[in-house]
Amino acid sequence: MSRFAAVALAAAASLATGCGRTGDGPAAGATPAETPAAAPEGTWVPVRRATVRQFARASGSLAARRMVRLGPQVSGKVLEVLADVGDVVHEKQDLVKLDPELFRIEVARKHADVDAAQTEVDQAQLNLTRMKNLWEKPEGQEPSIPRKLLDDAQARADSAAARKAQAAAGLAEAEEKLRQTVVKAPWDGVVSARFVDPGESVTSTPISHLLEIQDVATLELEFPLPQELLPQVKKGTSLEFEADGVPDVVVAGVVDSVRPAMDRETRSFWCRATVENAAGRFHPGLHVRVRVVERTAEAALVVPREALRETVEGWTAVARGATGPETRAVKIGLSGPEGVEIVEGIAEGDSVLVPGPAR
């Protein structure tokens, strides 16, 4: 073999040996090491005990507790309207004034009738006194007048007194009608409608409506619930509600009454609750979203709703086990704003994983 051929064979052998490895890595065919599984992403939340309230939802509306359309007790012409729509009014506040002139004239005439009746009473009483003096004599003396004159004087005095009483009643009636030319608010409220302007003639029969007043300091909330909830909902059942147009305000209350009759078309029953509205935040007619407490679980084990996953086999949650995260099948109970009740599968003291970026 020539010297050149020997060098070539040595170079080939060296190249064949180097093809079996790259740097310090394992030789071809070696099994690579296992990559550890990534820890789940999320926040571990301790299981806690709490009262869970399950709500039934409904839509309702607010209405004024009291509403009245004011009308005049006497007929006449409107002189002034002292309140308008939206005005807050108070009990016994003057709202509408009718022209009082004719009523003042009637009062003056009734005063004259009373004065005339009083004069007649005075004369009759004077005559009666005189007749009594003529009739009543010391024992043993004869009366100076027949008994009939005394009786007639007494009858005239009684008749005059009766006419005076009748005149006084007429005066009182005329004065009351004069007072009724001013229409006052029956209670505190808000003017919700106005029907007249100055110069209009109004009558008491048939009645002419002047203003509409609503009591909005206390409102009534009415809402329907399906008939299936009738055994659970009764007077005193807790509820809370939010009203459209009044953001970020949740009001707690209770059911005040349940109507005994069902709605035949919807198979639902109506409930009513009282809403105190001294601050004036709510208005009659507002749409309201109601949540009525349907059932309650006291001191229940509770986890966040986000910690649960629903599968074909049921509900699961990832709990922190002794060797790391483990998926557990759980049985749930009530579900409410406080979270979800856990009946089986997770114990007190456990923590569950709420998936998502760590907080």
Q: What is the pLDDT of residues 42-95, one digit of tens each?
A: 899 999 999 998 999 999 999 999 999 999 999 999 999 999 999 999 999 999
Judged on CB neighbours under 10 Å (0-12, 13-18, 19+), 292 is buried
Judge contact between 122 and 147, C-beta under 8 A.
Answer: no
The label of the residue with tokens 């079996």 reads 20
Distance in angstroms (rounded) separating the CA atoms of residues 81 and 95? 6
pTM over 0.85: no
Nearest partner of 196 among 212, 182, 184, 180, judged by Cα? 212
The label of the residue with tokens 């040595």 reads 10
> Which strand (E) or helix (H) includes residue 116?
helix 101-135
- For the residues 11-31, what does the mean pLDDT come to? 40
For 129, list phi and psi in degrees, rounded to 5: -65, -40
Distance in angstroms (rounded) separating the CA atoms of residues 65 and 201? 31
Q: Is the pLDDT of residue 11 over 60?
A: no
Distance in angstroms (rounded) separating the CA atoms of residues 68 and 45? 56
Q: Is the pLDDT of residue 28 over 50?
A: no
- For the residues 308-335, what does the mean pLDDT come to? 91
Domains observed in the chain: 52-64+213-355 (2.40.30.170), 74-98+181-209 (2.40.50.100), 100-179 (1.10.287)
Distance in angstroms (rounded) separating the CA atoms of residues 56 and 239? 9
Verify cis geometry, omega within 30 degrees of 0, for the bond prior to 260.
no
Nearest partner of 302 among 354, 359, 356, 343, judged by Cα? 343
Residue 19 is predicted with a pLDDT of 37
Residue 139 is predicted with a pLDDT of 83
Q: Is the pLDDT of residue 359 over 70?
A: no
More confident residue, 268 or 278: 268
Tokens representing residue 358 in the block: 């760590």
Nearest partner of 253 among 112, 23, 95, 62, judged by Cα? 62
For 105, list phi and psi in degrees, rounded to 5: -60, -40
CA distances from 75 to 179, 207, 325 (A): 13, 9, 86
The label of the residue with tokens 């808000």 reads 190
Task: Report helix angle 101-135 to 147-179, nearest 10.
Answer: 160
Q: Is the pLDDT of residue 221 over 60?
A: yes
Q: Is the pLDDT of residue 7 over 80?
A: no
Residue 340 is predicted with a pLDDT of 94
CA 319 distance to own-chain centroid? 44
Q: Name the pLDDT band for 38 (thresholds 50, 70, 90).
A: low
131-150 pLDDT, tens digit each: 999 988 888 788 888 999 99
Q: Which residues lie below 8 Å from residue 206, measured CB to CB, with a gap of 6+?
A: none
Q: Which residues lie below 8 Å from residue 242, measured CB to CB, with a gap of 6+?
A: 249, 250, 251, 288, 289
- Give the 3-state secondary structure of residue 67: strand
